[in-house]
Chain A
């Protein structure tokens, strides 16, 4: 087995470590040379492995590189193992390829940055973590990468830490992701409890075999597989920014643009989709979970598309677009069409990265501003950027020939054709497909709006900015062109059988072993979907042109005037952040404060601890008062104490337990406590409460036969004949 697999994540990681430790001693050139080389080398290694072993890869479970045991305890055994199969190989290639391009791009984009080495270190670290996520052979290892990319995302969003908002955005991203990670963890626990391992291939095999350990009902009648799938999906929701955890992604745009392109468009955010596809067999066992995945995806696709309509920040629009496109992917994987989801993931990586890099290029030109209301007519000033943008724009709109067209159609068609939901939920697929078509219309509209407002018409920027407009350096434009090319051509990988006249699409065939059976889409359906979506794309573009062609036009203004509340709500992103703040953050913080002040400070510290202190202290003060200094008081206490002592001493002690045994009408009383008597005492037993002692003598036990049942008062007098002192105990007895 090829042990160079471990080199793939290791190269960027080592470079990251080196740059963190020594990066500041190096010049910019050597820094970015090291960083780019590391990722580039990782790309080459993965390409080498991928293509060299390709025949085996796509027919088998793939290649494993076992580094060692990571952690083992009891029945838990987690190996640090990497696995490359067709799916992870593809992802690996994509990550390293796009990663390399974006590294190169960054050398231009951040040419004037102070903290150059830190940036590249983080970027390398990210690539390493992402590759670990992709290649990890078991869920915990995947989780290391999963959280690792979250960390890098946090670091890179907050890269310009001087602005409090950037740091907050990073924090928000991390914490929101953590919410999802909680689900991931619980999902892992569920799987481990059911299957006894966390190795992905074993899990997948178990799921494919339909093992009863996974299909047994767990809670509310749903099988283990459902709950595990659902909790894992919670992780995916966090990482891939789906409803309800998408809120971090728009804020994440605070990071440098290459970061947005790499992490928040092409790679990290798609990890959720990748994970679901990877564990597809598990999801297939739980159609309801699949339906939830697909439903959340479709809902997110629509919702984010709507919000994107009203955004005026270049990157925010792209961010919502990403959320929406991720929704598409989830519909893909959620309808059992894993290959379709992955295909869209793949094409999306190209065109969305391209779009982001264009955004970076534009903002580079606009002195960092991303406000599209201040742009316009940039096509002339930024020719290369514009061209790449056009390609990517058309791709995302789903215009035929461009890659997005094919991948989106694969998802929509798959949704219409899917049968994974079974007879009771068969309506889900077509409904979602229809929903996606609406989302596609929205996509075409808001992307075209973006294009129109940025590149067409008059430039609305101020003079100063306008004077500085320039095309970006080659380091930035080069990667752009490559990505544009990818956006144009990547569709080839998944040409539908209707066009390619083959059995199934290329990517589907590659991934067949890794992902299992895919929904069969009839050619007729393929044609129908292609036609519809092409029309929708064109309609969206046309509508957008009517509203925004060459700047904001009359219809757009009229629309705003007619629907002021709706427009405000869309602009305000439906105030989801504020709602979360009021519903979750503030109550929780308030609760914490209450706990701290009331429970900790007052209840425990003041009452529980302070109470004892006060008690003891008061006792101390009181005892001091007794010591008045007058010797005769002392003598009195001496005498009274002695008298009290004699009084106490001379009195018999009540036995600690009075055993009364009742058998029928006979009651037996026993005061001996199982010990030999020391004192010579006399006992008088009055069983019936008539004041007369029924039994008298030295015996500490006595019995009595009651004439009739009833409620009796038992009195026992214990007497010390020496002192003629006695003590009486009373009990009540019920004689049945």
Chain B
């Protein structure tokens, strides 16, 4: 294993985020106040973003790093970009949020970066070891972030549930790795597994191992029946963290799944047939979106509703994963576009949720949002656009992402039923998304609104709304960027 300069450059975004995270942690212990750490983290994000852009421009082909532990390709870079932007947005929102709620800790910023670094590792991973490291880095940071609002009992409770279930899932991840490792004759790299998969597919232990691995990953994207942590953790977490979980962590996990399913387990003997993951994930996709949407119907807490919504979106995303298994045209770029649109939308939505709450007035119930359109018309409009994007109503990115994913699935006649189910599901989802719109627009204010002035939040909100609309109206650039990830070697 040699460490060449070129590889370090290729991996610079990941290294920058990790390094800046460490520096921010140090700086926070040494500097006065929280601002320096925050600025450092934000600068680090911007720099990493520039590095991503540099990589994108620089090399066309994909690059295996460190003997195939990681890979730098267009897909990874695309998702890197999404993850870093999510981190930046979270930082921008978290700072004022924590200030308002008086729990500003410098390590918080570092943890955001660590979680992001973990996520980036996941999307770069082409080896089960790097996958495990990435997943766990991301998860451990996330547990702590959820628990970071110490005064709030819900935060600790959510974190505990998240942690216990996450650890349980990690157990499956590790055990699955072991089984795959053993049954493939000592393979841990994706390429190696893929090479042995055809033979190994006859071994039930290998299949079990593969499913254990998938379980560990599906837990991260909150797919039914591994989703139970999500509502509680989302509700308990500080709102900006919820935003990061719903966007960044989900993006990373889906990215990891795309890699895992698209290369390691892509063998038709493993993907198709009655024990194939196409069939199983199809069923899970259906269950996930249906469960998420139905359970969201009756929620009164906005964050909890959005948590269920995020479960439902995991279901939609899995349709794309299933399509990936059917080897149809454009499943992967569709997933990337969906992820980008979904991440932007979610970040925006949680920014609004973070914005409405004051120290003594969290305003987390839907009825608390009554009459927002009167007092804060711009924010209400932005929220409406974002909710419509979640619901998949044009002309928003949410619609285009759904369209793109469904397009992929529709190419296989076996998946048409999933698309129909998804479409009916989004009908259900419209109902509960509109409940928020109803409160904002159709009801009279219950109590006065005090503005929560924050430039950071305003920027994030504005940018996300613009991005969401742009993705809906002029999706071409993003489609092309995402398609760039197509031409890669696994």
A and B touch in the complex (CB under 8 A): yes
Residues of A within 8 A of B298 (CB): 617, 620-621, 624
Query: A722 at interface (Cβ–Cβ under 8 A)?
Result: yes
* Minimum distance in angstroms from B307 CB to a CB of chain A: 10
Residue pair A619, B294 in contact (C-beta under 8 Å): yes
* Minimum distance in angstroms from B320 CB to a CB of chain A: 20
| B277-299 vs A, Cβ < 8 Å mask (1 yes, 0 no) | 00110011000000100111111
Query: A584 at interface (Cβ–Cβ under 8 A)?
Result: no
* Minimum distance in angstroms from B434 CB to a CB of chain A: 14
Residue pair B165, A638 in contact (C-beta under 8 Å): yes
* Minimum distance in angstroms from A627 CB to a CB of chain B: 6
Query: A723 at interface (Cβ–Cβ under 8 A)?
Result: yes
In the complex, A627 Cα to B231 Cα: how many Å? 9
Residue pair A722, B204 in contact (C-beta under 8 Å): yes
Residue pair A631, B295 in contact (C-beta under 8 Å): no
Checking A620, A621, A635, A720 against B275 with a beta-carbon cut-off of 8 angstroms, the contacting residue is A720
Residues of A within 8 A of B280 (CB): 645, 648-649
Known: A634-B165, A678-B268. A627 touches B295 (CB 8 A): yes
Residue pair B211, A635 in contact (C-beta under 8 Å): no
In chain A, positions 700-736 with a C-beta closer than 8 Å to chain B are 720, 722-723
Query: B224 at interface (Cβ–Cβ under 8 A)?
Result: yes
Query: B191 at interface (Cβ–Cβ under 8 A)?
Result: no
Query: A640 at interface (Cβ–Cβ under 8 A)?
Result: yes
Residue pair A678, B295 in contact (C-beta under 8 Å): no
Residue pair B211, A649 in contact (C-beta under 8 Å): yes
Query: B164 at interface (Cβ–Cβ under 8 A)?
Result: yes
In the complex, A640 Cα to B428 Cα: how many Å? 27
- The residue in chain B whose Cβ has the minimal distance to the Cβ of A723 is B204
Residue pair B161, A631 in contact (C-beta under 8 Å): yes
- The residue in chain B whose Cβ has the minimal distance to the Cβ of A722 is B204
Residue pair A620, B294 in contact (C-beta under 8 Å): yes
Residue pair A623, B229 in contact (C-beta under 8 Å): no
Residue pair B275, A650 in contact (C-beta under 8 Å): yes
* Minimum distance in angstroms from A610 CB to a CB of chain B: 14
In the complex, A629 Cα to B232 Cα: how many Å? 8
Query: A651 at interface (Cβ–Cβ under 8 A)?
Result: yes
Residue pair B275, A624 in contact (C-beta under 8 Å): no
| B225-238 vs A, Cβ < 8 Å mask (1 yes, 0 no) | 11011011000000
Query: B466 at interface (Cβ–Cβ under 8 A)?
Result: no
Residues of B within 8 A of A651 (CB): 274
| B243-277 vs A, Cβ < 8 Å mask (1 yes, 0 no) | 00000000000000000000000001100111110
In chain A, positions 618-646 with a C-beta closer than 8 Å to chain B are 619-621, 623-624, 626-627, 629, 631, 633-635, 637-638, 640-642, 644-646
- The residue in chain B whose Cβ has the minimal distance to the Cβ of A620 is B297
Query: B160 at interface (Cβ–Cβ under 8 A)?
Result: yes
Residue pair A652, B202 in contact (C-beta under 8 Å): no
In chain A, positions 636-693 with a C-beta closer than 8 Å to chain B are 637-638, 640-642, 644-646, 648-653, 678-680
Checking A619, A629, A638 against B225 with a beta-carbon cut-off of 8 angstroms, the contacting residue is A638
Residues of A within 8 A of B299 (CB): 624
* Minimum distance in angstroms from A531 CB to a CB of chain B: 86
Residue pair B204, A624 in contact (C-beta under 8 Å): no
Query: B416 at interface (Cβ–Cβ under 8 A)?
Result: no
Known: A642-B215, A653-B274. A616 touches B297 (CB 8 A): yes
Query: B473 at interface (Cβ–Cβ under 8 A)?
Result: no
- The residue in chain B whose Cβ has the minimal distance to the Cβ of A724 is B204
In chain B, positions 409-443 with a C-beta closer than 8 Å to chain A are 428
In the complex, A297 Cα to B428 Cα: how many Å? 65
* Minimum distance in angstroms from B172 CB to a CB of chain A: 8
Checking A637, A644, A653 against B228 with a beta-carbon cut-off of 8 angstroms, the contacting residue is A637
Residues of A within 8 A of B231 (CB): 627
B-side residues, CB < 8 A to A, are 160-161, 164-165, 168-169, 172, 202-204, 207-208, 211, 215, 219, 224-226, 228-229, 231-232, 268-269, 272-276, 279-280, 283-284, 291, 294-299, 428
Q: Which 7 A-B pairs have the closest CB atoms?
A: A641-B225, A620-B297, A634-B228, A678-B273, A679-B273, A623-B295, A678-B272
A-side residues, CB < 8 A to B, are 616-617, 619-621, 623-624, 626-627, 629, 631, 633-635, 637-638, 640-642, 644-646, 648-653, 678-680, 720, 722-723
